[in-house]
Amino acid sequence: MGDGKIRHIPLYSLAFAAALLLPVVPWAPAVANDGVPVDTPAKNDDQASAEDAWQKLQNERLRLGDELLKQGQPEAAIRDAFDPIIQESEAKYRSDDTIYFCVRTQSETLLYLLGVAASHDKGESGKNGVALAPSWAYAYYGKAYALIELNRFEEAGQSLDHALKLSPNNPQFLTERGFVYRASREWDKMLESHRAALANIEVATPDNLQKTERARALRGEGYALIELGQLDEAERSFKKSLKIEPRNKIALDELDYIKRLRQQKQ
């Protein structure tokens, strides 16, 4: 649009550290047949110890993947970190009667499990819901990030769809999915994805990350609105983002771009 220049929004930070600070959800909340969330029976000491060791390994792999990405080694990150987490998690949590979710907040847990309960009440599903620590979903997210670095956008989108199946309301995943829609110039889907991220921040984003994830989603929303020709709305989105991160260069550059577009129309 406009001057024809390609405007680039950098990839969003992985922020794995935030996910890794969350403890494993030891109580694995399920949904009983009457639709009420319940706790599963407590594990014995040996089971709990084995589970802790397994989760620690997955967290270490996430850190390795993050580090390899920082070193510019996306293929190694996929091979040595993200794929092993995905493969082991899929084997560990294979079930025909359970829906697994990866969560970052307690409110996100309740959102998913109450959704499963509602399906029980409507007779749509007899499956139970279980909430897990977020490493499985973040492995898919990290893999998508690596695939984007390799310019394999279609595969990145597929990996993000897997992450969103595990964490449907995760604003970080929704924002990154919007980035991939940008690569395929699917502006309506990009806008929808970023607006979904904005709608879920209070529920599915830890308190210490809410400002950061909101600002990113607002910038993505603004970018899509520019491409859809809705300049006034785009300007409002970028200005809202600047109230959170006043010096953000991306938002400031996009506002300048909007000014140039308006001048060209005069």
Q: At what angle do helices 171-183 and 187-204 cross, to 10 degrees?
A: 170
By mean pLDDT, which of 36-50, 59-73, 153-167 is the weakest?
36-50
- Do 169 and 47 meet the contact criterion of CB atoms below 8 Å apart? no
Residue 142, CB half-sphere, CA atoms under 13 Å: how many? 36
Cβ-Cβ contacts under 8 Å for 139 (sequence gap 6 or more) = 58, 61, 62, 65, 81, 82, 83, 85, 86, 89
For the residues 31-44, what does the mean pLDDT come to?
Answer: 46
For the residues 218-226, what does the mean pLDDT come to?
Answer: 97
Q: With pLDDT > 70 as the criterion, what percentage of the chain qualifies?
A: 82
Q: With pLDDT > 90 as the criterion, what percentage of the chain qualifies?
A: 72
Residue 58 to residue 71: CA distance in whole angstroms: 20
Tokens of 251: 């938002």
CATH architecture, domain 169-266: Alpha Horseshoe (1.25)
Query: Rounded to two decimals, what is the model's pTM?
Result: 0.85
Q: How many other C-beta atoms can be found within 10 angstroms of the C-beta atom of residue 119?
A: 17
Per-residue model confidence (pLDDT) at position 49 = 86
The 10s digit of each residue's pLDDT in 62-93 is: 999 999 999 999 999 999 999 999 999 999 99
Domain boundary assignment for the chain: 15-167, 169-266
C-alpha to C-alpha distances, 111 to 33, 42, 135, 213, 245, nearest whole angstrom: 17, 23, 19, 19, 29
Q: Which of 245, 261, 207, 190 is nearest to 2 (CA)?
A: 261
Residue 109 to residue 231: CA distance in whole angstroms: 37
By mean pLDDT, which of 127-141, 154-168, 215-229 is the weakest?
127-141
SS3 label, residue 66: helix
pLDDT beyond 90 at 57: yes
- Do 12 and 223 meet the contact criterion of CB atoms below 8 Å apart? no
